[in-house]
Structure 1
Amino acid sequence: MTTISLLPDPSSPLSHESAAQAFSDILDGRASEDAIARFLIDLSDRGETSIEIAEAARALRDRLIPISAPAGAIDVCGTGGDGHHTLNVSTAVSLVVAACGVPVAKHGNRAASSKAGAADTLEALGLDMERAGAMAEETLNELGICFLFAANHHPAMKRITPIRRQIGKRTIFNLMGPLANPAHVTRQLIGIARPDYAPVYADALEQLGTEAALVVSGEEGLDEVSGAGPTVAVAIGSARISARIVPEDAGVARHPLEAIRGGDPAYNAAALRQLLTGAPGAYRDAVLLNAAVALSLIGEPLEDGARRAAEAIDSGAANDLLNRWIAWA
């Protein structure tokens, strides 16, 4: 018989110990569904601290099903839930960066606020989610890319998913996803939907021992580098650096956000195929910009990174990688 634990009052910031215990109780089924819902709502309304985010992520990491990854693997991932319903930028960036020779362990899920999340769009492109998951280590080592479908690697989340759906708003679990990559990558480009949270999120990453990361948030509340205007960026590594990125830094043009508005999985999949076969426009420029920022994690200057990403597309390397991945999995 499971003993029901009382969750702490989240009206004040929690200590490391209280946060760790609370999220252990939540993930291990020692708290009632009503108590979990109230706790998550109150935490979100007050605003999560870096300690709470880090301890929540640590609890999820302790319970995930891991895979091994080659040295230097990165992840490009957003928290989702930004409400802008854009095309799948981070998914496209993952393919382009992998085609540049940098292994990408892409961690993702189905749609949070858009009509098509990474898993939905990859399925529409022909990737078999079950086989891709089973062969993730193999494709990461042989092709330089894999998709780590969150539902396959976080069994502790099974009980939490309906509670999140019932709450119907962003909670700390949106923030935890990118921090619990099953490949344990130590280099990440993470997009969050709240620019004011970038420093808090960077603090959490440092507490978790991340080697190098860029936390980015478009000033319009976009969970990626914005192709429409400025982006708040906080880099962690040998030093903490805060910066403001604009598309021109990577030598790409600005476009209104509406120009990369997404649709259902079939629509987004078709747009991604067109992008990978050389179609110009706003989607391409957004992907080049975000790929350039991702490549900066390995020391590439932004303009050089954008050129390298463009070559990966224009040479057919990124499209060929997608085809080989679909055939493999």
Structure 2
Amino acid sequence: MLRETLRKAADGEVLSEGEAERALETIMEGNAPPAATAALLTALRVKGEAVPEIVGFARAMRRFAAKVEAPEGVVDTCGTGGDAKGTINVSTAAAFVARGAGVVVAKHGNRAATSRAGSADVLEALGAEIELGPEEVSRCIAEAGIGFMFARTHHPAMRFVAPVRAELPFRTVFNLLGPLTNPAGARRQLVGVFGGAYVRPVAEALRDLGAEKALVVHGTDGMDEITVTGKTLVADVSEGGIEEYEISPED
């Protein structure tokens, strides 16, 4: 099955959700050689990751994740990262501001890849224990109204992918999957993406994955955030639809 999926991807064909999901399941079960994993990620990157492929990968990752119990309506501010701007970590600050406004937050995140600090780095510097398991995070959300899920801890099957990703000198589909694989099942999200071309595809993926309300944003200055120096592209996912517009600091 994986060989046929590899052939299709190498030929530039779009994989169905099911094909992509089964391929990643095979990888995350430890049943794929590193060369096959690298070949699949490379083929997808070369042809461009399609929405069904992103959704299929996200479904597989969700299935293998260590689930966190959380109430309906929790919000996540996890973005893709990767804009290479070297800015401060905005998503974690946004999570605390949201909590201060009364929102219950289930924050998904990782260490920095291209920025000065990722969510895990910031929280660790503040003295927080970042490697809590599902039950402990669930208790944090219940008692404090906010909890942090360190991607490495809550996606243990990624150990079969991480070494391959580290060897590839380019972004892969996994750079898009963090915001799509919240272990607490958050369906309300603010997602910054590293490129304007990914605003619509990530919004479509969130819609297909059952998002209740999500804003996917990218600053036209290159930031994977809502920028204060120019216009921000927005895709607003709500009630199964997507509305695209721009916002500016003047607004």
Give a deviation string over 1:93-119, Cα, whole Å, max 9, x none.
000110110011000001121232110
Question: Residue type of the partner of 1:124?
Answer: A
Q: CA RMSD in A?
A: 1.6
Aligned residue in 1 for 2:14: 13
| Structure 2 residue runs without a partner (length 5+) | none
Indicate the residue corresponding to 2:247 in structure 1.
Answer: 245
In structure 2, C-alpha distance between the alignment counterparts of 1:95 and 1:36, rounded to whole Å: 37
1:133–1:110 Cα change, 3 Å? farther
| Residue type at the aligned position of 2:244 | S
* Cα deviation code 1:286-316 (max 9, x no counterpart): xxxxxxxxxxxxxxxxxxxxxxxxxxxxxxx
Shift of 1:71: 2.4
Per-residue deviation, 1:141: 1.3
- Give 1:204 deviation, angstroms: 1.0
1:35 maps to amino acid: A
Give the distance between the partners of 1:69 and 1:110, measured in 2 at CA: 23
- The residue aligned with 2:193 is 192
Alignment partners' CA distance in 1, 2:219 and 2:230: 7
Superposed, 1:142-181 pairs within 5 Å as: 142-181=143-182
Q: Aligned pair 1:52/2:59, yes or no?
A: no
The alpha carbon displacement at 1:133 in A equals 6.5
Q: Deviations over 1:116-175 (max 9, x none)?
A: 211011111111223586621111111111110011111110121111111132110111
Paired position in structure 2 for 1:93? 94
- CA displacement 1:44-96 (0-9 Å, x = unmatched): 12211110000000000011111111222100011111111110100100001
Q: What is the CA deviation profile of residues 239-298 of structure 1, one whole-angstrom value per residue up to 9, with x for unaligned ones? A: 32111011222xxxxxxxxxxxxxxxxxxxxxxxxxxxxxxxxxxxxxxxxxxxxxxxxx
Higher Cα Rg, which structure: 1
Contact 2:51-2:204 at 8 Å conserved across structures: yes
More helix by share: 1
1:20-169 to structure 2, matched below 5 A, reads: 20-131=21-132, 135-169=136-170
How far off is 1:5 after superposition? Answer: 4.1
Q: Distance in 2 between matches of 1:163 and 1:136?
A: 29
Instruction: Name 1:309's counterpart in structure 2.
Output: none
8 Å Cα contact 2:108-2:150 kept in structure 1 = yes
Change (3 A) 1:50 1:139: same
Alpha-carbon distance in 2 for matches of 1:223, 1:133 = 28
Q: Distance in 2 between matches of 1:113 and 1:42?
A: 23
1:174–1:213 Cα change, 3 Å: same
Are the counterparts in 2 of residues 133 and 147 from structure 1 also a CA contact under 8 Å? no
The count of residues paired between Structure 1 and Structure 2 equals 246
> Structure 1 counterpart of 2:146, which letter?
I
8 Å Cα contact 2:6-2:39 kept in structure 1:
no
Identical columns (%): 43
Paired residue type of 2:6? P
SS of residue matched to 1:36: helix
Q: 1:82 to 1:159 in 2, by over 3 A?
A: same
Alignment partner, residue 211 of structure 2: 210
State how far apart, in whole Å, the 1-side matches of 2:134 and 2:207 are.
29
Q: Name the CA distance, whole Å, in 2 between partners of 1:135 and 1:20.
A: 29
CA separation of 1:130/1:26 partners in 2, compared to 1, >3 Å: closer, same or farther? Answer: closer
Which AA in structure 2 matches 1:168? P
Q: Per-residue displacement from partner, 1:158-213 (whole Å, max 9, x unpaired)?
A: 12111111113211011111111011011111111111121111111111111111
